[in-house]
Amino acid sequence: MPENDADPTVPIICPECDTETRIPISELAETLDRHNEGRHDGEEVARVDPDIADQLADLVAEDMGLL
């Protein structure tokens, strides 16, 4: 079953937790905030996979302040 295009997911990586998670783009900022606030004292440890961030930048990331 194909994923729908309305809510694509993006990979989030956290090198300190050694995790990679796909997050719906609509929840991206909130999820990153919550993770970094809860686990890393607000430091921006978890972030969008850099390989994907370049592509995202063309789409939405600039507006969302994620890069």
14 binds Zn ion (CB under 5 A): yes
The two three-digit tokens of residue 10, written as one number: 């993006």
13 binds Zn ion (CB under 5 A): no
User: Looking at 7, 11, 17, 62, which residue binds Zn ion (CB under 5 A)?
Assistant: 17
* 49 φ/ψ sector (left φ>0, alpha ψ -120 to 50, else beta): beta
CB 14, min distance to Zn ion, A: 3
57 binds Zn ion (CB under 5 A): no
Q: How far apart are the C-alpha atoms of 59 and 53, rounded to whole Å?
A: 10
By CB under 5 A, name the binding residues for Zn ion.
Answer: 14, 16-17, 39, 46
